[in-house]
């Protein structure tokens, strides 16, 4: 899959339909591309120069062969412009919409034919394209003021939908997670998810892949590539088009049939692939696996200072197939001797609103060898929860090396504590249920990841 290196790390990019105006998509895209590590060639026959850079009348006039050409012209012009790319580009990213997704299948077929005849690798059409902060490659036609880009990190996003990719990028930025690469492949006339999966399996900057799908082209190829990737790195898949209405919407969006969801779901389970239920689940799981590595087992211990929050977490554990075994007898005896009589010594361990900051590490270290993962709930509106909790949890995580997630309610030291934990690689969630979803993504691993 080394071929895709030229797509994600192009040394040269041509922008067909470039504009000097910030009010036009071609102008926005040009400004975003100019930060790239490499040469950028604006192409527009109406201009000789654009933003201080020489502008070319056509791709034929651009010197040499470009690694990537970004095509931003109306759909009916695309076949003719694409034919001009013969021998001039390795990859052509077709941003333009107006193909099979609106019923213009013949036009899309013509694009496919030209691409094959001229040996061009095609991305799209009907897509935003690629964001690679490690190369400062940004083909998105969205101003930074409208979509702030995430920092560099270890999460790759593979999305059939451009709108969903935008939402995921924004959510990842707000969660203080970083991106390794992001690609929206739209109608997928050539490049499709499986080939991207195979590339990301060997990408050193990617530790986890999140993928939004509406439809699958070659089912066998998809499953094989997804399993190949998931055996090496966490792969989280969100499948849309589950019901009749969703399948119809998916077809009108990308022009590809979504297929029978129950068959898809069954095959995902059969191949041991991880499917998440919804958008929030996708982000919660991505946060967890971007911070920590998955581990085997599903035995969970909850340590809380709020009984109700512990019950909510316990209920979600049951829904997620996580076990909450009782505390071993020797652990119960030891904790009863160490703690006040009004603490609940069970699973969850309830330290109550009268918690003392040192009680959290006492409880955690007492159960460290009996459980596979830990959920800490800290309601910060009580005097006993201080910033010292962050250091205690960091030390515990480093000593034990098992999955640990935290739910912190807003109030008191919450904002500073959340930042402190994030710096320690401990994911924090806004609700007990979402914390359990994050923990579930980290547990049950087999062969490096789990289904």
Tell me if 133 is assigned to some domain.
no
Tell me if 448 is assigned to some domain.
no
pLDDT at 217: 86
pLDDT digits (tens, 9 = 90+) for 39-49: 999 999 999 99
SS3 readout for 371-416: CCEEEEEEECCCCCCCCHHHHHHHHHHHHHCCCEEEEEECCCCHHH
pLDDT digits (tens, 9 = 90+) for 7-28: 999 999 999 999 999 999 999 9
pLDDT at 1 over 80: no
Q: Are residues 230 and 179 in the same domain?
A: yes
pLDDT band at 448 (very low <50, low <70, confident <90, very high): very low
Task: Choose one of 274, 291, 308: the last residue of a domain.
Answer: 291
Q: Are residues 241 and 191 in the same domain?
A: yes
Give the CATH number for residue 299.
3.40.50.261
pLDDT at 432: 97
pLDDT band at 243 (very low <50, low <70, confident <90, very high): low
Domain count, the chain: 3
Q: Are residues 32 and 165 in the same domain?
A: no
Tell me if 225 is assigned to some domain.
yes
Q: Are residues 204 and 101 in the same domain?
A: no
Region 222-251: what's the mean pLDDT? 78
pLDDT at 2: 81
Task: Choose one of 242, 259, 291: the last residue of a domain.
Answer: 291
pLDDT digits (tens, 9 = 90+) for 378-387: 999 899 999 9
Tell me if 139 is assigned to some domain.
no
CA distances from 366 to 239, 311, 327, 424 (A): 41, 21, 10, 22
Q: Are residues 177 and 287 in the same domain?
A: yes
Q: Are residues 311 and 348 in the same domain?
A: yes
Q: Are residues 226 and 341 in the same domain?
A: no
Q: Are residues 300 and 438 in the same domain?
A: yes
Q: How far apart are CA 68 and CA 236, in angstroms?
A: 28
Tell me if 134 is assigned to some domain.
no
Task: Choose one of 291, 321, 348: the last residue of a domain.
Answer: 291
Query: Which comes out higher in pLDDT, residue 445 or 417?
Result: 417
pLDDT at 271: 86
pLDDT at 412: 82
Please give the structure tokens belonging to residue 112.
């496919």
Tell me if 94 is assigned to some domain.
yes
pLDDT at 248 over 90: no
Mean pLDDT (the chain, rounded)? 92
Contact 175, 167 (CB under 8 A): no
pLDDT at 431: 96
Q: Are residues 271 and 315 in the same domain?
A: no
Tell me if 137 is assigned to some domain.
no
Q: Are residues 52 and 86 in the same domain?
A: yes
Q: Is the dihedral of CA 205, 210, 214, 220 positive or negative?
A: positive
The helix (H) or strand (E) run that includes residue 23 is none
pLDDT at 152: 97
Give the CATH number for residue 76.
3.40.50.720
pLDDT digits (tens, 9 = 90+) for 43-95: 999 999 999 999 999 999 999 999 999 999 999 999 999 999 999 999 999 99
pLDDT digits (tens, 9 = 90+) for 250-271: 434 444 444 678 888 888 888 8
* Prediction pTM value: 0.89
Query: How far does Cα 80 stand from its chain's mean position?
Result: 36
pLDDT at 244: 54
Give the range of the structural domain holding residue 75, as residue numbers without chain letter.
Answer: 1-125
Beta strands in 152-265 (DSSP E): 152-159, 179-184, 208-213, 235-239
Q: Are residues 268 and 352 in the same domain?
A: no
pLDDT at 192: 96
pLDDT band at 445 (very low <50, low <70, confident <90, very high): low
Q: Are residues 325 and 425 in the same domain?
A: yes
Tell me if 451 is assigned to some domain.
no
Q: How far apart are CA 311 and CA 324, in angstroms?
A: 11
pLDDT at 245: 45
pLDDT at 224 over 90: yes
H helices, E strands: number in the chain: 16, 19
Q: How far apart are CA 284 and CA 434, in angstroms?
A: 7
């Amino acid at each position: 899959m080394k071929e895709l290196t030229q797509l994600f790390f192009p040394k040269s990019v041509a922008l067909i339909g470039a504009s000097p105006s910030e009010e036009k998509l071609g102008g926005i895209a040009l400004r975003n591309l100019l930060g790239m590590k490499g040469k950028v060639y604006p192409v527009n026959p109406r201009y000789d120069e654009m933003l201080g850079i020489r502008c070319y009348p056509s791709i034929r006039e651009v010197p040499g062969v470009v690694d990537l050409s970004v095509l931003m012209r109306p759909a009916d012009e695309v076949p003719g412009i694409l034919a001009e790319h013969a021998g001039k580009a390795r990859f052509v990213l077709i941003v333009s919409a107006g193909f099979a997704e609106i019923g213009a299948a013949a036009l899309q077929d013509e694009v496919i034919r030209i691409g094959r005849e001229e040996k061009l690798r095609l991305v799209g059409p009907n897509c935003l394209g690629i964001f690679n902060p490690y190369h400062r490659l940004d083909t998105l036609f969205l101003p930074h003021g409208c979509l702030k880009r995430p920092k560099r990190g270890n999460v790759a996003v593979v999305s059939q939908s451009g709108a969903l990719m935008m939402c995921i990028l924004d959510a990842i930025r707000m969660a203080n997670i970083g991106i390794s690469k992001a690609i929206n492949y739209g109608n997928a006339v050539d490049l499709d998810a499986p080939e991207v999966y195979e590339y990301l399996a060997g990408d050193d900057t990617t530790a986890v892949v999140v993928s939004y799908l509406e439809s699958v082209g070659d089912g066998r190829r998809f499953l094989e590539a997804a399993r190949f990737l998931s055996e090496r790195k966490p792969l989280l898949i969100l499948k849309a088009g589950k019901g009749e209405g969703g399948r119809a919407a998916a077809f009108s969006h990308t022009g590809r049939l979504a297929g029978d969801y129950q068959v898809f779901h069954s095959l995902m389970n059969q191949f041991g692939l991880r499917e998440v239920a919804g958008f929030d689940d996708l982000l919660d799981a991505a946060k967890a696996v971007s911070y920590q590595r998955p581990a085997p087992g599903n035995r969970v211990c909850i340590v809380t200072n709020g009984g109700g929050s512990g019950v909510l977490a316990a209920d979600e554990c049951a829904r997620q197939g996580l076990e909450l075994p009782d505390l071993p007898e020797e652990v119960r005896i030891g904790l009863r001797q160490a703690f006040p009589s009004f603490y609940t010594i069970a699973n969850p361990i309830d330290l109550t609103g009268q918690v003392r900051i040192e009680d959290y590490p006492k409880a955690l270290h007492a159960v460290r060898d009996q459980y596979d993962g830990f959920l800490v709930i800290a309601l910060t509106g009580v005097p006993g929860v201080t910033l010292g909790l962050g250091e205690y949890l960091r030390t515990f995580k480093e000593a034990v090396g098992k999955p640990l997630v935290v739910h912190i309610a807003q109030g008191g030291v919450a904002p500073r504590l959340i930042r402190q934990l994030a710096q320690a690689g401990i994911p924090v969630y806004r609700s007990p249920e979402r914390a359990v979803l994050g923990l579930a993504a980290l547990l049950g691993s087999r062969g490096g990841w789990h289904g």
